[in-house]
Amino acid sequence: MRIETEIDDQLSEPEIHICAASTDPRLARIQQLLTATFMQTLPCYQDNKEYFIPLADILFVETDARVLQVHTADDTYSRKDSLHETGAILPPFFLQISKSTIVNLNQVGAVTRAITNCLVEFHGSYKQVYASRRYYKQLLTALKEMRL
């Protein structure tokens, strides 16, 4: 892979061009990472009003009774997408920890492991979620990598 940077005073914002000989799954991943890097807010709804929630404020996203809910420390919003669709547009510091929950790793304050479950707590909030055994090791690895 070759990466080139070109400075052009005429541009008002950065442009990124990706050239490839054929389709490659890595290209889709690169595009996803670049899109997520520049995405600063997530459109959500509360009642009939659309809010643009800063990604840094989101604690976790979960499905509850077939409704996608976005949780911040103080409030809960909804989205019309599925958990999978929302997870696909979120940056890499969001991680799925169960079939129905994605957490913001930057907001995780504590992880308590018990025999039957794993409790995830957040900075400055009373809200908690459970990580399934299937995702527990991936959660600890991601948290360790972020703390280095």
Q: Which residues pair with 121 in a beta bridge?
A: 110, 128
- What is the tens place of the pLDDT at every residue in 8-32? 888 877 777 788 888 877 777 777 6
Residue 62: other Cβ atoms inside 10 A: 20
Is residue 121's pLDDT more than 90?
yes
Q: Looking at residue 122, what is its pLDDT? A: 95
Higher pLDDT, 13 or 87: 87
Residue 135 CA to residue 114 CA, distance in Å, equals 14
pTM, full prediction:
0.73
Strand pairing report for 67-72 and 76-79: antiparallel
Q: Give residue 89's pLDDT.
A: 87
Cβ neighbours of residue 26 under 8 Å, at least 6 residues apart? none
The CATH architecture to which 36-147 belongs is Beta Barrel (2.40)
Looking at every residue in the chain, the average pLDDT score rounds to: 87
